[in-house]
């Protein structure tokens, strides 16, 4: 297994090494290297700083159940590349603290967030402020809310009665992974790795003596959300490519991922009159103007099994058609893999999550991989996302590899899809 990963990494890094020769050496900031920071000073008033947890921003706990004494308070100097300049526990902060004149942010968090943990919600809040010379700056209350992703598993009773005791679900978001046993009632909390996340649930179970496996991915999972993955019996025997494979048993399993709505109470106060309706409202986008993501000669909602004989010299064609009548603003790609080796190689290349419209430092990487980027994406109305070149590389890495695509047009309309490639 190490041979393919070494070859894969070496080949790509050999290709990508050429442009790296022009990188400048890291140097010290001439203003601060070896010199005293001579900026003027001001102060921040902390004696009245309050840290609390907003129970309405989370369906997890109430304010009374969360103690904030041990919350971690940190101050970062925005004008100095976000360098952390101070840290305390909330119950140990001073009444007043001196800082250099600059722009800062102060954060409060319940603990150092881990990739995944059972029954350990992560609460977070952030506030920006400015320090002026010879001035005391007071802060607003830091109201923390759930910042990781809460996940629970449930089974429909008719299905649960058929499951063996060895049944389990493995859930992953980014590097966070938790195993839920059949009777697991605890909630898992996963670190959010971006504005949106991919949640992957792998069911491994026994139904009446037959082994069941099922893998399903859910996209656009947001920080602070509570998700319930529900497994139930599926009546339709036609299948959709994502159902559990259950030997000779004539039943199928379906999985859904529901968002738990937060119990928000709003004080109406003094009602203000509703504004008059816009006499010329903008029309809702019709089907002809909405972006779409489809497979060329295949159904993108179903997994593709890479056939035997696929190689670097004989790649299997996989082209995704992206139609965006209003023009592309962003084309975000995420790559996850059931192969630890391939996932590691992707991470090394910075290809875990990226935007083809705004490639940044990935320009040379994307160019060498033959993927469109920059002006070849921005404003375009039709794009072929051709990953045929990946299929030959993937043959050395058994497992399920997922490409998540999300396109946003110039009017803010979006479309998303997951392309799953299976290598046996």
Instruction: List, for residues 61-81, the tens digit of each pLDDT value.
Output: 443 467 899 999 999 999 999
pLDDT at site 36:
81
In this predicted structure, what is the pLDDT of residue 302? 80
Using DSSP's 3-state secondary structure scheme, residue 368 falls into helix
pLDDT for 55 equals 63
In a domain, 383, yes or no: yes
Is residue 266 assigned to a domain? Answer: no
Degrees, nearest 5: CA angle 223-243-186 = 40
Decide the pairing of beta strands 83-89 and 168-173: unpaired
Q: What is the C-alpha separation between 150 and 171, in angstroms, rounded?
A: 11
d(CA 210, CA 244): 11
Looking up residue 117, the CATH number of its domain turns out to be: 2.60.40
C-alpha to C-alpha distance for 77 and 95, rounded to whole angstroms:
20
In a domain, 35, yes or no: no
Higher pLDDT, 8 or 345: 345
- Among 217, 237, 259, give the residue marking a domain's end: 259
Instruction: Name 96's bridge partners.
Output: 45
pLDDT over threshold 80, residue 229: yes
- Judge whether 350 and 292 are in contact, CB under 8 Å: no
Q: Residues 297, 419: one domain?
A: yes
Going along 239-315, which residue ranges are E strands? 245-246, 252-259, 292-295, 304-305
Number of separate helices (H) and strands (E) present in the chain: 5, 27
Number of domains in the chain: 3
Indicate if 310 and 418 belong to the same structural domain: yes
pLDDT higher than threshold 80 for residue 308: yes
| Residue 108 lies inside a defined structural domain of this protein | yes
pLDDT of residue 401: 87
Same domain membership, residue 312 and residue 250: no
pLDDT bracket for residue 263 (50, 70, 90): very low
Which of 47-51, 165-169, 314-318, 395-399 has the least mean pLDDT? 395-399
Structural domain boundaries, residue 132:
41-146
In the listed set 130, 146, 162, which residue is the last one of a domain according to the structure?
146
Residue where a domain stops, chosen among 95, 114, 146: 146
Residue 160, token pair as written in the block: 């649960």
Q: Is residue 32 part of a domain?
A: no
Whether residue 270 lies inside any domain: the answer is no
Alpha-carbon distance 169 to 229, whole Å? 10
What pLDDT is recorded for position 143? Answer: 94
387, part of any domain: yes
What's the pLDDT band for 366 if we cut at 50, 70, 90?
Answer: confident
- Same-domain pairing of 164 and 209: yes
Residues 250 and 168 in one domain: yes
Name the most confidently modeled range: 168-177, 192-201, 246-255, 260-269: 168-177
Flag whether pLDDT at 8 surpasses 60: no
Residues 213 and 141 in one domain: no
Most confident of 106-110, 303-307, 340-344: 106-110
Q: Are residues 301 and 217 in the same domain?
A: no
Instruction: Please indicate, yes or no, whether residues 301 and 408 belong to a single structural domain of this protein.
Output: yes
Q: Domain check: are 186 and 123 in the same one?
A: no
Both 100 and 172 in one domain: the answer is no
271 within domain boundaries: no
- pLDDT exceeds 60 at position 241: no
Confidence band (pLDDT; 50, 70, 90) for 283?
Answer: low
Residues 108 and 211 in one domain: no
Same domain, 406 and 308: yes
């Amino acid at each position: 297994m190490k041979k393919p990963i070494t070859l894969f990494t070496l080949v790509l890094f050999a290709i990508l090494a050429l442009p790296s020769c022009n990188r400048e050496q890291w140097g010290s900031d001439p203003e601060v290297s070896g010199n005293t920071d001579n900026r003027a000073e001001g102060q921040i008033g902390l004696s009245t700083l309050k840290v609390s947890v907003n129970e309405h921003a989370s369906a997890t706990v109430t304010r009374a159940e969360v103690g904030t004494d041990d919350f971690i308070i940190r101050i970062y100097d925005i004008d100095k590349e976000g360098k952390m300049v101070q840290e305390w526990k909330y119950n140990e902060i001073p009444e007043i603290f001196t800082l250099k004149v600059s722009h800062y942010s102060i954060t409060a968090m319940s603990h150092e967030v881990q990739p995944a943990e059972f029954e350990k919600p992560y609460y977070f809040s952030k506030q920006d402020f400015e320090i002026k010379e010879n001035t005391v700056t007071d802060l607003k209350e830091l109201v923390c809310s759930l910042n990781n992703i809460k996940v629970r598993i449930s089974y429909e009773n008719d299905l649960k009665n058929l499951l063996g005791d060895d049944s389990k679900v493995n859930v992953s978001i980014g590097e966070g992974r938790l195993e839920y046993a059949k009777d697991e009632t605890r909630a898992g909390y996963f670190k959010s790795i971006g504005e949106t996340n991919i949640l992957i649930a792998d069911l491994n179970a026994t139904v009446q003596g037959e082994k069941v496996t099922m893998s399903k991915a859910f996209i656009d999972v947001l920080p602070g959300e509570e998700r319930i993955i529900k497994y139930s019996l599926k009546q339709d025997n036609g299948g959709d490519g994502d159902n559990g494979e259950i030997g000779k048993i004539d039943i199928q399993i379906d999985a859904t991922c529901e968002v738990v709505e937060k119990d928000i109470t709003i004080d109406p106060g003094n009602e203000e009159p509703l504004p008059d309706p816009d006499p010329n409202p903008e029309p809702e986008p019709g089907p002809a103007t909405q972006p779409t993501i489809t497979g060329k000669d295949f159904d993108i909602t179903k997994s593709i099994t890479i056939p035997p004989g696929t190689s670097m010299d004989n790649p299997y064609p996989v082209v995704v058609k992206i139609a965006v009548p209003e023009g592309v603003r962003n084309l975000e790609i995420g790559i996850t893999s059931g192969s630890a080796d391939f996932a590691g190689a992707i991470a090394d290349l910075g290809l875990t999550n990226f935007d083809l419209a705004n490639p940044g430092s990935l320009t040379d990487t994307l160019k060498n991989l033959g993927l469109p980027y920059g002006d070849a994406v921005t404003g375009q109305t039709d794009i072929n996302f051709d990953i045929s070149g990946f299929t030959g590389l993937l043959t050395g890495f058994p497992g399920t590899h997922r490409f998540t695509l999300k396109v946003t047009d110039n009017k803010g309309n979006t479309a998303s899809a997951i392309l799953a490639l299976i290598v046996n």
